[in-house]
Structure 1
């Protein structure tokens, strides 16, 4: 298997793990509060990630001074995103929430251009705007089927965007596993604080809910590990479109497990978001290839000039 296809398989596995985790978390929404579910899953997930980090030797507690603040900010963004998304997940169909989250790559591209100065052409900008229009078809503010929880998912997109922009600024001296451990512990601590100081008290956990939370802990661990391996295995421009397989999993699980199926307008909006996201990735890949080709030509031309100079 080539590196790109291996990375694509890992990305698909990561998206499946994330979405199964979401479905398992949603399944316990009638048994406990969001804070209790996040806290209990956080215990299991954090233990598993710490074990994986110890086995692989990739956990580094000493961070460069510049990265310490970035890891803290990234963890806070992860906490905010988890709060917004899981709150919404407890109250709306999983496919609808997942469909809105598909706008995240578009928002990251736009934010990187706005805040990090990364170049963006008019084609990608237009695709991003069309993609956001697709999100509005899913959310439909002011329409009869609108709920505030769709806004929570939009908030999750914003916080995930902030998380990913912060992650881009972390140096390679800080391992991905260290960042993942910090995020997992941070989300777990947030769930514990919300359980202690929030309005909802501890509820007895039924056996089937324990099984669901254990499965969610396992799936979120797999998701983190697969996503880390994905970034190290292939060309990100080739691999990135496979993140949209999460929507297929969400549609399937929503139908089979919860008896949910999005309406036509939501499916159209999701299709627009996915199509514009894939187009954006395609443009980024083409521009990267053009830049590499131009650099190679420039290198060859410079080498020819140097050789001619040596001959003279």
Structure 2
């Protein structure tokens, strides 16, 4: 690996960690609003500023001058539905569960996406990666602990959110290269804003205090920062090198959950989270080996 590549990888790793920090800070601001604002009103207000900022970024990147191919519109539509459902189930779980617990469950996403892609699209999956996925899912069971006193309906909500995010990511992977990613991101943010804005009309709005307004502003800026850093990551360094740094989001969730809400996961939850993260890192390492090895077809 050359010095330039190493430098780019280092920058990419920092950007990935910054992206995860921004998304986790967004979750922290949103969770801090639990009980102050109804969920639908909160998502609409956050969506107003977020969609505006994402629109500016999409414009700067020239996304509005391009068109989505007709064959991709169905996938874009499914992605919008998945994002709306994921936002509802994830944030409902976030309102009612410790931040680190919800984040730990979400760390299983790369495992679930890889397994689902193999089942639905016959993407190659060898026994090593399959074993890592199954071990990682056992880690999720340690976090959720079905049938125990610590198990709640909101654990199921978090798992449902993982399912819808998987659907979103698989739709994204099937989009053609001609479809601009930032245009899809803008449409998604706008769809979430409109859906929850209409839904909020079904309930009484709550006056927004100065403190709540600042939290909404913070959440909007952080989620935009997460999007921005994610775009920058795609342009710097090797994806196979920087992707494992996405798991630093769990570290941020542990720190912020303890510092802001006084929550610290049970030891069995921490063990489950470690199993999920370890399995995900091994799977990414194995994918990197296969991509570089001369016998990559031998899964």
**TM-score, normalised on structure 2?**
0.94
Change (3 A) 1:121 1:88: same
Deviations, residues 221-248 of structure 1 (Å, cap 9, x unaligned) = 1111111221232222211111100000
Contiguous gaps of at least 5 residues in structure 1: 295-312
Give the greater-gyration-radius structure (CA): 1
The answer to whether residue 250 in structure 2 is matched with residue 247 in structure 1 is: yes
Q: Runs ≥4 in structure 1, deviation > 4 angstroms?
A: 291-294
Cα distance in 2 for residues equivalent to 1:58 and 1:139 = 40
* Matched pairs, number: 292
Pick the aligned partner of 2:38 from 33, 52, 55. 33
Counterpart in the other structure of 1:51: 56
Q: Are the equivalent residues in 2 in contact too, given 1:34–1:90 (CA < 8 A)?
A: no
Cα distance in 1 for residues equivalent to 2:200 and 2:280 = 37
Contiguous gaps of at least 5 residues in structure 2: 1-5
Change (3 A) 1:192 1:293: closer
Q: Are the equivalent residues in 1 in contact too, given 2:66–2:180 (CA < 8 A)?
A: no
Counterpart in the other structure of 2:133: 128
Counterpart in the other structure of 1:274: 277
Counterpart in the other structure of 1:17: 22
Q: Are the equivalent residues in 2 in contact too, given 1:81–1:157 (CA < 8 A)?
A: yes
Deviations, residues 42-68 of structure 1 (Å, cap 9, x unaligned) = 001001111122233233462111111
CA RMSD of aligned residues (A): 1.4
Change (3 A) 1:70 1:291: farther
Shift of 1:254: 0.4
Partner of 1:150, secondary structure, is helix
Change (3 A) 1:85 1:60: farther
Cα distance in 1 for residues equivalent to 2:66 and 2:230 = 21
Pick the aligned partner of 2:199 from 170, 194, 198. 194
Counterpart in the other structure of 2:289: 286
Q: Are the equivalent residues in 1 in contact too, given 2:42–2:216 (CA < 8 A)?
A: yes
**TM-score, normalised on structure 1?**
0.90
Deviations, residues 56-101 of structure 1 (Å, cap 9, x unaligned) = 3233462111111111111111111111100111111100000000
Question: What is the correspondence of 1:96-175 to structure 2 with a 5 Å cutoff?
Answer: 96-175=101-180
Cα distance in 1 for residues equivalent to 2:155 and 2:93 = 7
